[in-house]
Structure 1
Amino acid sequence: MSLFRTKNIDAMLAVANDDGLRKVLGPVDLILMGIGAIIGTGIFVLTGTGALTAGPALTLSFVIAGIACGLAALCYAEFASTIPVSGSIYTYSYATLGEIVAWMIGWDLVLEYGLAMSAVSVGWSAYFQSLLSGFGISLPAALTAAPGSVPGVHTVLNLPAMLILLVITWLVSYGVRESARINNLMVLIKTAVVVLFIVVGVWHVKPANWHPFAPFGASGVFNAAALVFFAFIGFDAVTSAAEEVRNPRRDLPIGIIGSLAICTVLYVIVAAIMTGIVPYAQFAGVDHPVSLALQMAGQNWVAGFVDLGAILGITTVILVMTFGQTRIVFAMSRDGLLPERLSAVHPKHSTPHVATWTVGTIFIVIAGFVPLNVLAELINIGTLAAFTLISIAVLVLRRTRPDLPRAFRCPGVPVLPLLSAAFCLFLMAHLQALTWVCFLIWLALGLAIYFLYARRNAVLHNHGGKASN
């Protein structure tokens, strides 16, 4: 039964209040952090791929993915207001479902956030190179993409992707207040760019391009929903900042739900306008679909702003994903499941600098040498697995600890959490078989590490398992 030992929630909260991290974030910071994580590669890159899968019905795909995320967000909000501790679903699972479940979902989150850092930096590289080409500047082909990314072109590594991830890793290690300020500024700019696209693009929509609305039927809509789910990844990263929020019980639910609601509305509107300007079949092979729509509308000056907004937007996604990744590794290290050194806090900057540079270095290499299409679906399945677990965990915590004060309560329990889990499992079923194989291999590796290292080095193990609820 030691596999399912749980952490004492009161003890977790006590540790969180004395961990050396600075509590400097407010509700606006959290909403902007969520928007910063969500609006990026999903809207500026994957909308084209989604349109090829669902046609104009891509709008419905975004609604379906948004509903799945929204249901999970309500569960996240309850946990975040009840257990405001770093580590997101990993920490919540440790308090409710037991150590082995927490380890596996923590290992899953390492995959999700880490690959997201790498994947989004690859998208950033594409837009950055597009911007450079507008000034007549081009990089050597060998340094523009991972090996095998471009058919017929010899590429060695994606240098721009590696460099932007290096800069972001340094920024996150430097300080949370500084990271938040830069994130907030870039989020405001990129949101303004998205609104500019909507205001200009709506006048160039041709309703005839929306027919047929769902050329690939319901299966196309659901397959696209599973794909563009990537566009919503990130709002859960807000919960990883719990120990650096001034009033986490109130502000975390605001940040989670507020950022997701704003982004869902923007996604649906952008998808409708984009497919109304450009016939969906013309997005084949296009990695900048939003700016393409404006170019076809004859609005090249706005397309230039969109490219700039995409670069800033994708930068904030990398920033928030890196932040979330390091806080999860920090929490797992503090619990003894990963080496203790990874939970060291910098004496001056008050950041987990060792964890930041360790994970940053690993995924800088992945960003340089692994193609984007390989990364995207692995991220989706990892996130959907985490969302399924959070939906189950909120039901367990309601039953095992009904006495805990909850500043926010997920409505419609048990129906909404069960719907959330069902939605996520349904979308997982629409991912490729190869994605499932890779995911299961990753989980098997994590299970081996747990039994060889994490289980016997866990803080709960060294305390005789007496820290359970």
Structure 2
Amino acid sequence: MIIIPNVFIKKINFTNLISIDTIIKFLMNRSINNDYGGKKMISRIFRKESVDNYLKADSQLKRTLGPWDLIGLGIGAVIGTGIFILPGHEAAQHAGPAVAIAFFIAALLSGIVGMAYAEFSSAMPIAGSAYSFATVVYGEIIGWMLGWALILEYFLAVSAEATGFAAYFNNNILDAVGVHLPKALQSGPMDGGVINITAVLIILVIAFIVARGSELSKKVENIAVIVKVAIILLFIGLGAFYIKSSNYVPFYPAEFHSSWLGLGGISTAAATVFFAFIGFDALASNSAETVNPQKNIIRGILGTVIIAVILYVVFSLVLVGMVPYTHLNVDDPAAYALHLAHLDGWNKVITVGALFGIFTAMLTMFFGGSRLVYALGRDGLLSGKMGKIDPKYKVPKNAIIIALIVQAFFAGVVPLEQLASLINAGTLLAFAGMSFGIIPLRKRNDITNTGFKMPWYPVLPVCAGLASIYFIIMLPDATKISVAIWLVIGLIVYFAYGIKHSKLSD
């Protein structure tokens, strides 16, 4: 619940609906009048943090992650709900069999943006990823807004993964052993239940693992990644024998042709699945816990991109080849496809793979989101308690607890479709910010980068940034409106709390 002080209510004109512009101007004017002069205020909110300060603050974090650990984390994040659930929904709603092209486009752009993240991580191996990077090159207000957007993305991504996990687990594992949860415990109030208990419990398990440090997290992640990749390959191998060429016709159905040269359906599908690739931001958020980040971050990102492109495209082609795209608007499309092919025994094996896949994606997202909350607390923009490191396990314990509470709440009461629809805009905003950010980064004489640099500068960074903006435009209107409201709330939090408590004010 957001409580608005009386001083806000008295000074804002409520005779008409309050516009976003009205709120922003009021908050900035209030801060200028009460605390700063106009020019000083502008200078203050765009003040840039020092990389040395971040490195000093993050020195308590333990560097344990190597290149294969990062690839494990990347595959763990990227190959989850995105591959086990979204291909079915997007094929049925936006692209038909051309959903494979949508995933290829999303993966390709994510890989290019991943190079920008790798350059930032090489130049400044610090926690907080896009938030910290933007605070250094753009200034505090831009860094805060990107961080605020990514908090929503990380938290809702974990919640969405948890509801996807619950769908596979309840429908294919519990039912197989004769356990049938009552409706009240299978879904939240928006779907006629009380709480999605399976989704809440799996988030508790994830929180326990993350709270025990990166050593345990990476061991669990690496084992689970091997299992799920093997099972995805098994699905591809089995499903290839049940492909019907007629299911590929038409490959891009006319019903999905729209504006933007007829590519509106594919573009919307690509924009919608971007949350599957937020794993690149999660990899960068682990820079402070990576051994030799100047070389290993780019290895982790490129390794993840190559594997993700192959698995997503081939998996999608096999799925839409097995089942007409019109029948795939379900939460467990891979298991559903095998059921229609009368391969119910293999169906359970694929379900286990899906559960492993979604589990590892949740682990990486939880890991990255808690580090982002830690970074905001470290800098005073959120409560300083969020920036405290547990002396025993060397993890931000309070940030993990907050992440657990918020994510478990959303997973327990909000359906998957509503969660997924809110996730992508913040991811794409961060992608745009990091791509364009390469330009001011290269101009900084005080930041030395002896590691990876994004090729074809400045053309490639600018193209990646413009492409990210294009896909933001292609998101559904409801998503853009919801995220705009979230960003306005972020501005309120910043001017009401963050600007006064920020360590940059010292």
C-alpha contact (below 8 Å) 1:109/1:386 kept by paired residues = yes
Deviation at residue 12 of structure 1 after TM alignment:
2.6
- Alignment map for 1:30-429 (pairs within 5 Å): 30-52=70-92, 53-130=94-171, 131-149=173-191, 154-215=192-253, 216-217=256-257, 218-284=263-329, 286-401=330-445, 404-429=448-473
Taking the aligned partners of 2:286 and 2:473, their CA distance within structure 1 comes to 31
Shift, 1:369, TM fit? 1.0
Partners of 2:220 and 2:475 in 1: CA distance: 35
Larger displacement relative to structure 2 (402-411 or 413-422): 402-411
Q: Which one of 4, 7, 13 corresponds to residue 55 of structure 2?
A: 13
CA distance in 1, matches of 2:63, 2:311: 30
Structure 1 or 2, whichever has the larger Rg, is 2
Q: CA deviation at 1:403?
A: 5.8
Q: CA deviation at 1:237?
A: 0.3
Residues 77, 257 of structure 1: 8 Å contact kept = no
What amino acid does structure 2 have at the position aligned with 1:168? I
Moved more, 40-49 or 286-295: 286-295
Letter in 1 for 2:303: G
Gaps of 5+ in 1: 463-469
In 1, Cα distance between the equivalents of 2:53 and 2:406? Answer: 32
Is the Cα–Cα contact under 8 Å of residues 235 and 260 in structure 1 kept in the other structure?
no
**Contact kept? 1:84, 1:242, Cα under 8 Å:** yes
| Structure 2 CA distance for aligned equivalents of residues 292 and 142 of structure 1 | 24
Offset at residue 401 of structure 1 (A): 3.5
Deviation at 1:105, TM superposition (A): 0.7
| Contact in 1 for aligned 2:190/2:413 (Cα 8 Å) | no
State the alpha-carbon separation in 2 of the partners of residues 459 and 403 from structure 1: 21
Residue 281 of structure 1 deviates from its aligned partner by: 1.0
Give the conservation status (yes or no) of the 8 Å contact 1:9–1:83: yes
Once the two structures are overlaid, the 10-residue window that deviates more, 381-390 or 66-75, is 66-75
Stretches of structure 2 that go unaligned for 5 or more consecutive residues are 1-42, 258-262
Identical residues among aligned pairs (%): 40
Q: Does the Cα contact within 8 Å between 1:330 and 1:355 map onto a contact in 2?
A: yes
Aligned-partner SS, 1:165: helix
Query: Aligned with 2:134: secondary structure?
Result: helix
Contact 1:116 1:375 in 2 (8 A): yes
Q: Is the 8 A contact 1:194 1:306 kept in 2?
A: yes
Residues 77 and 276, structure 2, Cα contact 8 Å, conserved in 1: no
For residues 370 and 171 of structure 1, what CA distance do their matches in structure 2 show? 24
C-alpha offsets along residues 33-55 of structure 1, whole Å, 9 cap, x if unaligned? 00001111111111111111211
Q: Spell out, residue by residue over 1:285-338, the C-alpha distance to the aligned partner (whole angstroms, 9 max, x if none).
A: x21111222222332222211101111111111111110011111111111111
Contact 1:236 1:256 in 2 (8 A): no
Q: Given the two structures, how large is their TM-score scaled by the length of structure 1?
A: 0.94
